[in-house]
Structure 1
Amino acid sequence: MLKVMIVDDEFYFREALKISLLWEELGLEICGEAKNGKEALQKIQDLNPDITIVDINMPIMDGLEFAKKVKEKKINTKILILTGHSEFGYAKQAVSLGVCNYLLKPVNEDELTNCLCEMKADIEKEVNIKVEVEKLKEQVKENIPLLKEKFLNDLVQGNSVIKSEEVFNKIKYLKMNMLSEYYRVAVIEVDYDENREWTDEDKQLWIFAVKNITEEILQEHFEFEMCYDSDDRLCIILCLNGDEEDSLIEDKFEKVRVLVDKYFSFSISIGIGNRKRDIFDVTSSYKESIIALKNKLTVGSNKVILYSSVDDLELKLNLFTAEHRSQLLLSMRTGNSEEIKMILTNIFKDVRGKNIHYEILLVVCVEIMSVCMEIIAEMGISFKDIFPKDELNVLEEIQLKQSIDEMESWVNRKFTDAVEYIKKNKNTKASQLIEKVKKYILDNYQDDELDINKMAKNLFVNYGHLCFIFKRETGITINEYLTKFRIKKAKELFDSGNQLVVSVAKKVGYADANYFGKCFKKYYGLAPSKYIENVSQKKYQK
């Protein structure tokens, strides 16, 4: 019997209500009463009523406030509001607070009876659903024979090292009808939406539901066995005699897909491998089905995908060109976020328009990310500052994505994170690099083989990045700075009394005295010999 509590400030109304209905015949019993919402809240936890009949207009705490408190405290009781005509607007508000129904006073016994019966039916239905869910959970735990599951899992993933005779003995022992002329593997994967929170329990329940539907559809036409692989995908090993049409297999799996899409809040994708003669080639068909399944990234999810249909997909398209790479590098170095976003959008737009194999898609994403990682290395930034610990394996992270949209979103986010980090830290990093270059020139300007390659190598910096940063921060190139520095040092030597042009040229890093002379004249307007002569005349005049 379900329990009912009456909450009304009128004593005689409560008493009348107790005797006005044949409660036991309705499958109900009065478990308690209260004269206002506050008193009802104090009693409800102990009484635990299934249904609470509440007057909307009461002193201390009215029916609306009581309904609000019940909802806030997540108390499991269904509320029936009683109201007069003048409070009809309040009744609407009560419905928004989770109240199941309301009746107008004076209460009509037939209406009250019908309302209570409806509420009782709803409660019983909810209880039955909970029972069914609990049964389903128990089936997930108990109905999978572990030995059979392990054997099939080893078979599809190629982990079995036992001989043919032992395999067939094991099949017989586990009472599986797998002795056939051909074998073909299909793999079913739930299309998980990253924007939806899936608990492990949710995943297990839905996969089990998909398994039941698949069994029901296939058992009329095929002998088959089922198991789960290491990624919780449902694997179906079809045991064929050779006379089954490929179109029939595809049609039945399409029916599975359609039913799941119709009756559940998610979709599935199905990959189907080619036929194989030997039972030990089941693993080959399984791998083909996985390849077919992975191509949902390019052909779309919620589909049945045959390996034979993706085996011919283009594998040689050059979707990430040298021009794309150069543009991304330049935009990263200049911190142009909008340009980066536009380049990536165009690349992925091109990807969507091509009939490509998923492996090509992975290659494109890895090539794009290599540009981001190259800039991070150039800047001397730690990868951990851009990639969290669980994202350091870029290829693995890309492979986890369920769609091209997810891939594009993740790649865009990583580029944005890198650019923002570089912008935030560029002034300190750049100034430190400029000072290192100047210090290196000061220590090595006398080396006539000194060049930018040598500097970059010794400073552990990318050549292009070094040139770009130096020009951006100082306004001149490294070669211009080096020449100016050397000529200035040569002038100092001439001013201190050195009069041999060849000797001075060598001391400041010029192996060719003639070239040194041209550089010196460019800066001071005089050839070195003429400058020395002027210095000597000034000393003589003194």
Structure 2
Amino acid sequence: MLRLMIVDDEQIIREALSSMIDYTSLGYEVIATAKNGMEAYDRIRDDYPDVVITDIKMPILNGLELIERASRIDSRITFILLSGYGEFEYAKQAMTYGVRYYLLKPTDKQELINCLDTIREEKKQKEVQQKAEQALLLKDMQSPLEQGLLMEALDQPDNFPQVFKKYQGLLSFPEKGLYACICSFVEETYLKSFLKDIVRILLSCGAESVFPVIYVKNSALFVLSSPTLAHQEKIRQSLEELHYPQQCVTFETSFLHGDTSEDLFAQIISKISRYERILLIRPETGETRDFHNNMAAPWRISKLREAFTASPAETDIPSLLDSVFTPSMTPDVAKNIALGLFLNPDNSGQEPPLDIACDFFRRLYSCTQTSEIRKLAEIVLLQEKDEAASSKGGANISLLKSYVEAHLDCETLSLKWLAENYLFVSVGYLSKQFVKEEGIRFSDYLNKKRMEQAIRLMVYYHNDNIKTIARSVGFGNNPQYFSQVFKKYTGYTPTEYIEKVGASAPS
């Protein structure tokens, strides 16, 4: 369901718009109504709508000002603008903010339905595109995720079902239908030629490889789909016919089967667990990952988590991270550690939601410096510390509050931005937790903090430059909007308050 908000300063119009259509049948849920632009803007920061129907002429913040400010905190909101005759200039200005949907008052029911239908289809197309982009991102992430699966599984053999479930969706493993082929007596000298032949053989047999070749001690193991006996026999014959110069021993082939993919990988882990050096090789490209000397081995992440768990205070976390993320550490190694921390915070076996995981992966793999990656790892650890310490079970809130305190001058602060770009959690979950722990909505909390900071600036500097104060507490170049919010929270305009402060100051 798409989330819909209705904004109009006339109650009769708000009520008419709310009741004139069966929004549910169109795939919409009316989540809020607002009587002016300021109220709507605060609700947008809390309720993250997909579509907003708004009037142009409203008190405090008009429709265009609302669109301008709301677009900064969430560019994905689609606006439907309600306008009267003679308001064409307003409509022209709205086009500069990307608004494409206009309805004349009084609103025609069928025109509104057509508009909502079009927007819904556009959103569906964008969702399809987003899923395609996520698939590409997961493809780029495939190698570190595959390595992460094997490393964690080898490190936690007693916890294998939970480890596998966490990676299964991210690596797109089916519930069943996989099998593994083991080819023995493959000397490393001939490994490159063997891999080329593997690609050719699988192609000719119509078999699909779903995991890199695992190579341990002269044995190569590859995981395949379509487990028919005809496939297996053809692969066996093709492999045992291979021969390389100076090779004395004929290859031997065997197969592993499991009732489920999890069963199969449990057998694979059991087979390779006794080997000290393990290679993961993508035969199509020759990309090779060697576990033996990997600095981001599971024990490193485990040791970091053990030290972190034993640490009594959040202030110890930076020093713990400094001991791991050293200046000489390469970004690739740092990414492996951060990825391990994110995917395995508490051994719960819960796979993170795909949207959240992709947000984190995108952010992580856009980092080019180890110091940037360290900051992401710190967020992950602080989230875990917050959740462990909170008797209410609500994680992330102290992190959110700290971020707000440090960024009160940022115009684009919103719950959705913080959830997707800083905390990597569901915005719905974060919204509920914030209200539960703080007893107020996020927008009220943010405005309260901004007004408290504005008052501090006025008292300290006796500053009558309202524009400067407005900018410094996140209202940008809109001192009028700042003045309205300030009066709502204090009962005074900024000018009145400054005069009051000046009058009470000692001469």
TM-score over 0.5 (shorter chain): no
Q: Which has the higher contact order (CA 8 A, sep 6+)?
A: 2
Structure whose alpha-carbon radius of gyration is higher: 1
Return the TM-score normalized by structure 1.
0.29
Return the TM-score normalized by structure 2.
0.31
Report the structure, 1 or 2, having the larger helix content.
Answer: 1
